[in-house]
Every structure is written in structure tokens, then in C-alpha cells.
Structure 1
């Protein structure tokens, strides 16, 4: 029996692929450290993933949510 995977929310993968570098750079600017910036970006992206259905994507602003 194989593992079941939950489907990615519509648009989430495209959002991450297109904005990941900028979000990491923003995190690095906030923390003053590239590695901590990447950790911060990943935490924000995890929160966005969990709330993706409530963000009103594509009408909403997921990047603003991630950056908060």
C-alpha cells in the first residue's frame, strides 16, 4: 500500500516557484542573516500553505500574508 499525498492547493506551487527568492531575500533583510532569512521564509510559506484556501487566491495577496 502506497502513501497517500494530499494535492497541493491550486496556485500554491506556482506562487512558491515564482516568489521564493524574493521572500527569502526579504527574510534575510529582516534578520540580517541569509540562513535565518530562509528559515523565516519557510515558516511564512508553511503558514500560507495551511491557510491558502482562506487567502482568496488568486484575488488575494498571498505574498503580503507570507511577509507578515
Structure 2
């Protein structure tokens, strides 16, 4: 039996849930997109450059996780 990842629909499920492929219902489930994050492997300076190129404003005092979330959410 094949298992697939779908987006979580309830509290405390994390970002995805594994279900049997045969149980997938497009009315209830959304496939979990496993695209790599835009910020993966980048350092703070590289993330800032990418944000600037996209025209996304950020605080100079923002830390790496905050900057990474801005970039990842922009994709």
C-alpha cells in the first residue's frame, strides 16, 4: 500500500500527515509540497541579497530564521 504526504488539517499534526494513497480525497486533502525552501543553504548575507532583489523589506536587526521565513514565504 502506498503512503502519501498531505498538508496537516488539525492542531498538533506538524506540517504534514501521512495517509494511505487510497484514502486521498481531493475535497478534504491537499498534497504536501516538498519543494526545497528558497533559503536552504544560504547564509544571512545571501538571504538579504535575495530579499532585496525581490523588493522585500526587512529589518537590519532581523535574525536568520526571520529573514529565511520572509524569503521562503515569498516563493
Normalized against structure 1, the TM-score is what? 0.30
Higher radius of gyration, 1 or 2: 2
More strand by share: 2
Normalized against structure 2, the TM-score is what? 0.28
